[in-house]
Amino acid sequence: MIVALVNNMPDSAFIETEEQIRSLTAPSSAGENVELALYTITEIPRSDAIASVIQSRYRGLDQLWTHAPDALIVTGTEPGQAQLPYEPYWPYLAHLLEWAASSVPTTMLSCLAAHASVLLFDGIERVPRRVKCSGVYESPVENPTEPLVAGLPASVPIPHSRMNDVPEAAMIQAGYEIIIGSEHADVGWAVATRKRGDGRFVLCQGHTEYGTLSLLREYRRDVRRYLFGRGAVSYPRVPESYFGPDAVATLNGFERRATTWNVDPLKLWESFPYEKVVADVHNSWAQASSAFYANWLVLAGESVAT
């Protein structure tokens, strides 16, 4: 079975995302013989290092159209515009989603890619959040009979990291089934699904694919933007339910120093306690994410068989 990954992640998370998806789609996770085919939107500007990686093992979307996979994963990326159609990659992403609906049996969409899909097909706009949603949140399985959540407990932890939401009520009205929600009212749904064209779309507003350090690296990036942004952005909140108490205390102490007047941004940035807090990161979602992807691969395999 061929699973295509269209990796749209920023340079800082590009390789990590590939490695995590490769791990989640490994044959041992579902008993499927999976070949992971790598694609990306080659028109997105990249650093020399990532451009070299892309040249060595990735293909452009023009090669995907003639090699339709059995299943497709499309990652999100960091938003740069208030409205998705203004993103420079929008035409390529929109074409990809339209093609997937008619050519791929099952497509999994992560975060921004999921938001792009509901805007493109259903006209549902994402809603900016007052404060970034960042952390790991317990999320109830809404329909235990859904094959995608087979074997999962009644509630599963799922990482979230975003500045926008798609309202659950609008999703349901448009015909989506919310299969994993959230017990936290301010977090919103995590996974939804519906038939789209000749296939099935699985939309993940949460980041089921995240690695152990993904939220830490994003938090560190946001801290750096605060330090060098000259007041353009606010200081980020520590991701919820992700660090142990010692790490939270350490990061809160760094924030107090960072928000002090007359601080030297470069000197302070060099002292960011990354290595100190790494050991206090707790990955509570890996087991559930592996089971979720294994279920998805089983369903994809059944589609191929029929």
Q: How far apart are CA 109 and CA 256, in angstroms?
A: 38
Task: Give the burial string for 146-173 (b: 16+ CB within 10 Å, else e).
Answer: bebbeebeebbbbbbbbebbbebeebee
Q: How far is CA 20 from CA 24, 26, 28, 137, 178, in A?
A: 6, 10, 14, 20, 24
Residue 143 three-state SS? coil
Q: How far apart are CA 110 and CA 97, in angstroms?
A: 12
Q: How far apart are CA 189 and CA 200, in angstroms?
A: 18
Give the strand pairing for 2-6 and 71-74. parallel
Q: How far is CA 269 from CA 220, 228, 246, 265, 273, in A?
A: 9, 9, 20, 6, 9
The rounded Cα 286 to chain-centroid distance in angstroms is 14
The reply to whether 133 belongs to the active site is: no
β-pair partners for 7: none
β-pair partners for 134: 161
List of E strands, the chain? 2-6, 35-40, 59-60, 71-74, 106-110, 127-140, 155-165, 177-180, 191-196, 199-204
Catalytic residue, from 18, 32, 209, 218: name it. Answer: 209
Catalytic residue, from 115, 160, 204, 207: name it. Answer: 207
Catalytic residue, from 18, 111, 115, 133: name it. Answer: 111
Catalytic residue numbers?
111, 207, 209
